[in-house]
Amino acid sequence: RNFYYITMLRDPVSRYLSEWKHVQRGATWKTSLHMCDGRSPTPDELPTCYEGDDWSGVSLQEFMDCSYNLANNRQVRMLADLSLVGCYNLTFMNESERNMILLQSAKNNLKNMAFFGLTEFQRKTQYLFERTFNLKFISPFTQFNVTRASNVDIGEDVRQRIEELNFLDVQLYEYAKDLFLQRFQYSKQEEHQKNRLKRREERRLLREQRAHQSPREEAAEVAVTEDYNSQV
């Protein structure tokens, strides 16, 4: 079988706040194996941020204060090849080198996917998906600008802190948005060019058809046109 890998990316700050609200309501990823190079990380490699069954009721400050919170740079980590940096073993290489490799790996994998979209651009995402896979949705995508994340009132200092915690995701998203809009513009131009060629071909066929009409057919056509006009 041929498998096509696709993904959706989201603005890093909105995505982070959304995950915080999700965790605050009791969500966990306990069943996730986080497999890498054939094994799961040890408790020392991947400690938990909370004690007990879940992290219900966690404040945003507590959520941000956990240094090994997997919400940080989640999009880069889930798109990158972790085996390049020793999986979850943070002593495998220095942090700056690790971050650089993860970001570049995420960019490469994103670029080579069959398709990716952005939640902030639903209509454009639909257009590119339909063009990529030659499919047509029965209804247009809807852009919901009011979400749980958008309802969270944060100050500029908190926003800056979230961006710092997700600095790799921020860079990935800027790269993704630029690439996404380039692909959208290219597809639009390609569609316009195709439509122009189609109209040109239709006009050419019409001219050829008229050129091959007999005088009697042309006269009949004129008579019908005049009769129709007089009725109008």
Domain count, the chain: 1
* Residue 161 counted as domain residue: yes
* Residue 110 counted as domain residue: yes
* Residue 33 counted as domain residue: yes
* Residue 147 counted as domain residue: yes
**Local structure of 6: helix, strand or coil:** strand
* Residue 39 counted as domain residue: yes
Q: What is the pLDDT of residues 160-190, one digit of tens each?
A: 999 999 999 999 999 999 999 999 999 999 9
**Residues facing residue 39 across a β-bridge:** 36
pLDDT, residue 211, reads 87
Which parts of the chain register pLDDT below 70? 214-232
pLDDT, residue 228, reads 46
Domain of 27 in residue numbering reads as: 6-185
* Residue 116 counted as domain residue: yes
In angstroms, the Cα distances linking 110 to 5, 57, 102, 176, 208 are: 9, 34, 12, 8, 48
pLDDT, residue 148, reads 73
pTM over 0.95? The answer is no
pLDDT, residue 222, reads 52
pLDDT, residue 220, reads 58
pLDDT, residue 232, reads 43
* Residue 230 counted as domain residue: no
* Residue 207 counted as domain residue: no
